[in-house]
Amino acid sequence: MDTDLTPEKIRIIVQGMIILLFSICVHEFGHAYAADRIGDRLPRRQGRVTLNPMAHADPIGTLLLPFLFLATTNGLGFGWGKPVEHTTHDRKKRVFISFAGPAMNVVLAVIVAVLHSALVAGGIVKLDAEISRALEYAVILNFVLFFFNLLPAAPLDGGSVVRGLIPRGWLDAWDKYAVYAPFVVMAFILVGPLGKIFTLPARFCADKLYEVLALIFGTTDLSHWVHLVWGIK
């Protein structure tokens, strides 16, 4: 456990907090925007249809816990944003709202990767620069958030997506499982090997995205420079 606040440590903390804050903001905005688009005005009345990070930040899940993890381990550990409330009861619409959050993380990952590739291709940013590493980290983190949030376990979005897609006759069994689902989520967070279920696909998607962008921008294979995060092997 490293608790010395060296300049490098402070940089890691600030960088990680900024990336996580905006990633969670985009995720929760996706839920709010999707609900608003189907006519549920509750998120808009609560000020959630916005990209203002503070509208979506949870004091503990977005700020305190990630800060503590970064200060002691150099990793973000886990966190969450303020849940978006909605009044929609239609199962298909609820699936749309639930999936919109993780989908927005993919959109953000692609936008950041395109920006990064353009900066490298234009000679504005070097591949081994700190800003380059930060952008790579943001891309992988958002793919991680996509796959992690789609795990079929409440309170993750994947739990709501599965519940909205399974036959109605299976709902009672699913709801009984949902009681224990938070423990399943904690197992994926705390048991290292289980985490590869969402970190390895995230790395794969980041690699392939950078390979495509390298071809588009005519640069060196950018995927070679995508750094592993959280000890992915």
What is the full per-residue pLDDT of the chain (233 aa) written as tens digits? 555 677 878 888 888 899 999 999 999 999 999 999 999 999 999 999 999 999 999 999 888 888 888 888 766 667 789 999 999 889 899 999 999 999 999 999 999 999 999 998 888 988 778 888 899 999 999 999 999 999 998 889 999 999 999 999 999 998 888 888 888 888 887 787 888 888 899 999 998 999 899 888 877 655 555 544 434 33
87 burial level (CB within 10 Å; 0-12, 13-18, 19+): exposed
Range of the domain at 182: 125-233
Number of compact structural domains in the chain: 2
Tell me which residue of 225, 16, 27, 193 sits closest to 120, measured CA to CA. Answer: 225
In a domain, 108, yes or no: no
Cα 147 from Cα 227, distance rounded (Å): 18
Paired strand residues for 81: 57
pTM higher than the cut 0.85: yes
Does 103 map to a domain?
A: no
C-beta contacts of 172-175 below 8 A and 24+ residues apart:
none
Whether 136 is catalytic: no
Of the three residues 88, 115, 136, the one that is the final residue of a domain is 88
Catalytic residue (one of 28, 85, 130, 136): 28
Nearest CA to 33 out of 55, 22, 48 is that of 48
Same domain? For 132 and 76 the reply is: no
Distance CA(156)–CA(228), nearest Å, equals 24
